[in-house]
A and B are shown apart, each in its own frame.
Chain A
Amino acid sequence: MDNLTYISFIAITVSLALMLPLMEKKQRRLVVFMIAGIFSCLFVSELNNILLGAFRGDIFFVTTTITPITEEIVKMLPILFFAIMVSDDRSTLIPNSFAVGVGFALLENVVILTQNVENVTILWALVRGFGSGLVHGICTVMVGWGISYIKKRRKFFYCGTFALLSAAIIYHAIYNLLVQSQYQYVGILLPTITYIPIILFLRKNKMKAK
């Protein structure tokens, strides 16, 4: 059998790409960023396999120390490219950042599903959906917020984005650490607990702006 990661990647991205010509600009951009997130996941999966080998297969160390760094850096790249080449408008960057994160989580979930097809349940799906989906989305949004300063305040951009990237890496590592421990339920709740106040804050700001 061919590599299941690549099979899943092709099956998902081709369907999404075929939808693009029918969409309007804003929606199309979101789907393109989702595809970018899916591609980032494919790239990271190869990179993480190499790193896992380099660290003698120590999954706990690699998932709590190395993969949060590689994943957050790779997910940041499409946003950075877009901010430099197209627009650094925050109202565009934040949803696009979330789309990259969701795209990343989508392929990651499919890959894990194909690897554990006999053990997965509806509960597993809920946990992965609310857990990893939100974690990847929130972390990419954090970095995207920093990137939005790229053209407005260069000094802020360089230092602030690095600082936000550090925060996103730690947040991601905390999630990875918790879901592998006996406190996995706390890990599953962590993204939801973080997501709700962020959404309320953003909505409040939107209402104020109106």
Chain B
Amino acid sequence: MYLYLSLALTICAGIGFGYGLYRFFRDESALYVRMIVFAVGCAMLGRLFETLLILVNGGLTNGFHVGMLGIIGCFMFLFSANFGQMDSIVDDGSKKFLKTRLISFAAPLVIAAIWVFIAVTKGLNETTIPLGVEALFIAQASYFHLKHLIIEDVSFGLIKAIRSYNLLSLVYAVLCMTEMLVKSFNIPVFVIVIVNVLQCVVLLVFVPVLERGVKKWTT
């Protein structure tokens, strides 16, 4: 079953990535948008590796495997886009946004809490430590997604236009952490299926939702 779920995730991410390439790489478009397309591409590569590893090896290896870099790379691209470009436009570093900055720490704290729960229950071992590294990258990206979701828009509607995308990214971060939780414990199969189906949906609509927001920048 894991093979089919992983294959479905690969296909959905692949469609999302292909659509992103088609929409944003034909003409000149913002690097911010291209980074997000690359994030979906990285998620696709990671899932493809997992699918092939299950197919060839019969299952995923215990502990670290290269497929984990797909999630890490994906969130690193998302973090890079928000931290590297968007954040300096929407937050001038003034005291005005201090409250927003503080509230935004809620997202990484939730991510950290989920991992701490796994680590405390299962102990620190070859499986939970790589998951911790993965959680670290998810947490840092989630900070900016929550921040850009709640921050007051002073940049001529720039951030307001892509709020739904930031919400979607935050949902994806939570889903990735839920997947970690589900795989660490003996949770009924239907929960795993639901989490993976939701991930499929998010990966499919990621780029179209972003595209809808980005269109508002120019209209």
- Chain A: residues with CB nearer than 8 A to chain B? 60-61, 64-65, 68-69, 153, 155-156, 159-160, 162-164, 166-167, 169-171, 173-174, 177-178, 180-183, 201
Contact = CB atoms under 8 A, between A and B. Distances in A.
Contacts of B168: none
Contacts of B55: 181, 183
A27 to B, nearest CB: 31
B49 A173 contact: yes
B202 interface: no
A166 B53 contact: no
Interface in B50-66: 52-53, 55-57, 61, 64-66
A170 B84 contact: no
B197 interface: no
A159 B83 contact: yes
B80 A64 contact: no
A163 B38 contact: yes
B56 A170 contact: no
Interface of B: 25, 31, 35, 38-39, 41-42, 45-46, 48-49, 52-53, 55-57, 61, 64-67, 69-70, 72-74, 76-77, 79-80, 83-85
B53 A170 contact: no
A167 B66 contact: no
Contacts of A69: 66
Given A166-B69, A170-B67, A181-B56, A160 B35 contact: yes
Contacts of A182: 56
B53 A64 contact: yes
Contact of A169 (B41, B69, B76): B69
B52 A170 contact: no
A166 B79 contact: no
B73 A167 contact: yes
Contacts of B49: 170, 173-174, 177
A65 B68 CA distance: 11
B84 A153 contact: yes
Contacts of A68: 66
A65 B65 contact: yes
A169 B65 CA distance: 11
Contact of B45 (A159, A170, A177, A178): A170
A65 B25 contact: no
Contacts of A171: 45
Contact of A156 (B25, B42, B84): B84
Nearest to A165: B73
B18 to A, nearest CB: 11
27 contacts: A64-B65, A65-B66, A68-B66, A155-B85, A156-B80, A159-B76, A159-B77, A160-B35, A160-B76, A162-B73, A163-B38, A163-B74, A163-B77, A166-B70, A166-B76, A170-B46, A170-B66, A170-B69, A170-B70, A171-B45, A174-B48, A174-B49, A177-B56, A178-B52, A180-B56, A181-B52, A183-B52
